[in-house]
Structure 1
């Protein structure tokens, strides 16, 4: 179905990318097209933006499907056949889940089930692009497990399902559980990749994460809020590196969740000062009490605050982040400084499959 060489993403004949007009989805569409893969980009534009993939509209092999993956009629319009399904559909940030909690839960349940069905229909490799912020966890000396697992098959300190961050956590956890159960019951070729925060051109600056918020405030001339004394490290991975990691995992038949992210390196204060320098902003830094993660504070990694375990991705796929945070930040600020805000919420009907003006 595809060809690959060690350390390089493969080439598929045709791929479906749900949520393809989002930040990371658009980077994946571009990389797939560059590798000679035909791409169907499915998005209802609730949080995705037409501008993210508009530059791809004239490229041979690209098709934009204005569809809601939870729409019962969606499978009839998504004809395929595919040999790769990348599932990113659904609000992908805590702030989005707070704004649209029901849509987030529907995307995790109905949307994931539909995407799995499309992959099964065509015998395609399926990869759920999940979030380490809600799901990831591992023991100090053991394999990945739930961050609320006590190591004996029972869970402890599970997140409050009606707490302030419940929608984001439960949606991601349920999607992973659904993929795992489906793969076991159907023996399907389904896997999971858990992402740590990514950044780069076409990123949104209103997703509630620390880096995007710092950039947003600097461009607006507003004070840059730094939690605590600014010494907390950030785990931020440049979009090109993240997309490469996703495709390398997609090329495997692994069902084990794989971390993709950068080691926590810069501190929040370092990043804030770098953002001010790159934007030319004279906005002040405001140091505040560090918010509690479970009371709505910024999401920048695992619930326990540790960085990704990229050993599995490195050893099996040869993946390591290549772009330094300073280089990536410079590229990002240059790109987003002229970017419009996110598109308003759009209610997709039974999409037309045509490019939207």
Structure 2
């Protein structure tokens, strides 16, 4: 297959690109480095079948030339600090970016997969959250730029499917972690691991009783690949099923990295969901999928990655530039 992947320099995008390259497929990566990392592209450059286009999908995509079998739309800031720093860009990549990616798939007769998010459920009143739950979202809060961008992207994807017959897929990604995350990602996994590695107190928001469930990145990639192999157009949850409080999660990371560290409580972020856990009944039935990597094992792998990662700060995000796919590093 030949696939175009937006957000290829992101955490999940880089793993997804590597997965398909390992399978002998061709991948055209697209990123503008608003939240992606040059290092993630450099890991892929030179591999057979990989080419790269530095571009902002929100502004449109030039003709990449040749056939396409899939367009995978993973471009978007995904952590609260990043999408709150770039709220307009986040909304645009969910709106115009999704439309440009859908149009590209339509022009090439390709199938389309949208990376959506558990954030479409907001601060849920139903627990765990099935795909049939409509959510409880603040439409103009600090997190709304991301929540509503993804909700609109889902609506647009379903409209292209229903009105234009485009063969589409939608995944709702719950908390995912692993190597290739940015050290300054701002999400709880990277915060806790990097605080622990630096010998700093682990900062727990609020009373620490809010819950999350986590999946290791390889489990997510396996679920995405399986969904691409079936015909199913409604959203599918992919996420860990074991809910854990943030206080307990801090204790797990502390025990793994540095048992002597204190835990410090800080104010709760605005609109922070009190609970988040997927109902994966659909994924189990449709894909035969469930997470396999344990939290302890996944955290060990992730801590090892950050322990050995270069101490240099992340590269300054590059602005998008036009061009055709290239196997050269972006300027």
TM over 0.5: yes
Aligned to 2:90: 104
* 1:346 counterpart = 2:318: yes
Query: Could you tell me whether the CA contact under 8 Å between 1:196 and 1:237 is conserved in 2?
Result: yes
> Partners in 2 of 1:138 and 1:125 — Cα distance?
34
Residues 142-197 of structure 1 show CA distances to partners (whole Å, capped at 9, x for unaligned) of 8613114xxxxxxxxx5132x22221111111111111111111011012100001
> Partners in 2 of 1:101 and 1:288 — Cα distance?
24
- State TM-score, norm by structure 1: 0.84
Query: Could you tell me whether the CA contact under 8 Å between 1:205 and 1:215 is conserved in 2?
Result: no
Deviation at 1:16?
A: 1.0
Aligned to 1:356: 329
> Partners in 1 of 2:244 and 2:301 — Cα distance?
17
Aligned to 1:214: 192
Alignment of 1:1-357 (within 5 A): 13-72=1-60, 74-76=61-63, 78-135=64-121, 144-148=132-136, 158-161=137-140, 163-280=141-258, 282-288=260-266, 291=268, 295-297=270-272, 303=273, 305-339=275-309, 340-354=312-326, 355-356=328-329
Q: Secondary structure at the match of 1:59?
A: coil
Aligned residues: 325
Query: Could you tell me whether the CA contact under 8 Å between 1:104 and 1:168 is conserved in 2?
Result: yes
Unaligned runs of 5+ in 2: none
Decide whether aligned partners of structure 1 residues 142 and 111 sit closer, same or farther in structure 2, where only a CA change above 3 A counts. Answer: closer
- State TM-score, norm by structure 2: 0.90
> Partners in 2 of 1:306 and 1:23 — Cα distance?
21
Residues 43-63 of structure 1 show CA distances to partners (whole Å, capped at 9, x for unaligned) of 111111121132221211111
Decide whether aligned partners of structure 1 residues 312 and 68 sit closer, same or farther in structure 2, where only a CA change above 3 A counts. Answer: same
Query: Could you tell me whether the CA contact under 8 Å between 1:204 and 1:341 is conserved in 2?
Result: no
